[in-house]
Structure 1
Amino acid sequence: MINVLIVDDHALVRAGFHMILDAQDDMSVAGEAEDGEQALRRARELRPDVVLMDLHMPGADGITATAAITAELPGVRVLALSTFDLDEYVVDALRAGASGFLPKDISPEELVEGVRVVQRGESVVAPRLLTRLIGTFVRAPRPAPRPAALAELTDREREVLTLIARGQSNAEIAASLQVAASTVKNHVTSLFAKIRVRDRAQAVIAAYEAGLVTPGDA
């Protein structure tokens, strides 16, 4: 079972999410919280698999709570939700440690699948937000390469990071490099530790910021 903590300052929203998730055979709502401070306390107490985190709440907001939860409880995944589609919220949430970002107007099916995806250790961003986010990178001046950010990586780890940033899964990377999937997994674990990122979403951001890849790379 995937245990979920629902965080939102509106009781009606929490009730709706609760009903959707509890109806799934593989999910259970472990608890609820109405602000960021309560979310951290409840996460410590319940140790959920996934936190469904609203970003805009009074007091400690969702981004602050996400950063605190992911730093203190690395086994807990956060799926950020917002009524706003602003690109900076997506980047801020991912930088804070969220494994995904979805708008609140998604369908129940998309919400459920998003929870499953982040619980598996993968990342999810709504397609319309991802498209705009990539567009932001395209329009922005290319950042100056920062070799120090990647200095600890081996040539093969740098190659794997490049393929991650181009959207390839571990299986696709293994096929591209003609190595075993287990070898790719080891490279991914090692490079994540070296560049100090939690998951693939943060790794993609790091690759762009370091100038390792640019939008439109084949």
Structure 2
Amino acid sequence: MTIIWKEIKDENSLVLEEIFKFYDNAFPIEVREPHDIFYKSIQYGRQNNLNNFRCLVGFEGKTIVSFATGHYLANVNAGFIVYIVTNPHLKSRGLGSKTLKKMEELFIEDAKLAGNTTLSEIYLETEKEEMLHTEQEKADSLRRNAFFNRNGYLLCEDVTYYQPPLNGEDQIIPLNLFVRNISPSEQGMDSVIKAIYQEKYLSVNQIDERLLNKCLVMMGIAGDLR
């Protein structure tokens, strides 16, 4: 299949409404942020010279077959994939792997624009088994983790990672953190997590700084944001 890739750089794009249909059906409410965060992320990406936001959509003809969003974090030279979704009616066609590969290419572009020879790493969050409610959700989670492993993403086993509340509540979510190493990096994991929290959860989602610092403390990470 031939995929035509398009980046959404305008928060008024009609394509976003189609994306939201996939998004709302793909993720449990605990890790699903409000639609307006997509708009804020696009605006944020336009306003920053080095830190960037990518909203990637794959088309086959006029049909959306996949989408992914993510941030390039300049101060740690890493990518952070926030969401990746493929069309549930088009299975076993390598859509997820192709979408991850394209996101990697975009992050490498960002890294070079920031003055690096290439990208260091790409990170992403996935659900832990204890936050899933049904056997089907658990089976889907195992398949997702196996998919990420096949694409070179490994579980950060030594990290106790938490996602801050995304929907204005106080529920802090324990998640898995996966990483794909691309080139040697001198950045410690604490620096990467703080960069994720700074750019994504503070600057874009505008989650209360005190709550974010509480999450950092729970992960054993010293030093406040800002």
Common topology (TM > 0.5): no
Larger radius of gyration: 1
> What TM-score do the two structures reach when normalised by structure 2?
0.28
The structure carrying a bigger helix percent of its residues is 1
Give the alignment's TM-score, normalised by structure 1. Answer: 0.29
The one of the two structures with greater contact order (alpha-carbon pairs below 8 A, sep at least 6) is 2
Q: Structure 1 or 2: larger strand share?
A: 2
